[in-house]
Amino acid sequence: MTESSQTNVRKGSCFCGEVSFAVEGKPLFSLYCHCTQCQRADGAAFVPAIHYPPSAFAWTYAAENKPEEETLRGFTMYRCKKCRSCVATQMGDTQNWALRCTQLERDANGKIKNWDDVKPSCHIFYDTRVVDVADDLPKWEGFPNQSARVG
């Protein structure tokens, strides 16, 4: 992220707020991931994930709040040492950042700011889902346009 540009910057943090980040610009894509890795890493049925290129991402936490890093299965997860939230994941193959939409800054009503700009556009790895989701978004067995569409 460029230091001089502050247009279209989004902020986010872990549950307790100790580990924070900022991203700039439009995401590469945003989706609901139902893969077993996300389910296990987050303890959730699926994860609303938003992906940004490496150049758009910057940590903004104080030095003493540096998150713990854990690399496995081709990606590095960053967790807050205090609340244990997974704040971000860096993908090993592309170095893109996968962020949880739920950790983005919210307005006074608790809604994610400018949600329409980042809301997920599809479901991936829907064949390993643990719950059915009744929405009109495309659902894919694996990656979009690279696997069979199942809904």
DSSP readout, 66-130? PPEEEEETTEEEEE-TTT--EEEEEETTT--EEEEGGGB-B-TTSPBTTGGGT----EESGGG-S
In 3-state terms the chain splits into helix, strand, coil percentages (rounded to 5) of 15, 35, 50
CA 73 distance to own-chain centroid? 17
> Each residue of 15-35: pLDDT tens digit?
999 999 999 999 999 999 999
> Quick check: pTM over 0.85?
yes
Cβ atoms of residues 83 and 65 within 8 Å: no
CATH number for region 9-128: 2.170.150.70
Would the pLDDT of 52 be above 60? yes
DSSP state of 26: -
Higher-pLDDT residue of 55 and 74 is 55
User: Who wins on pLDDT, 72 or 5?
Assistant: 72
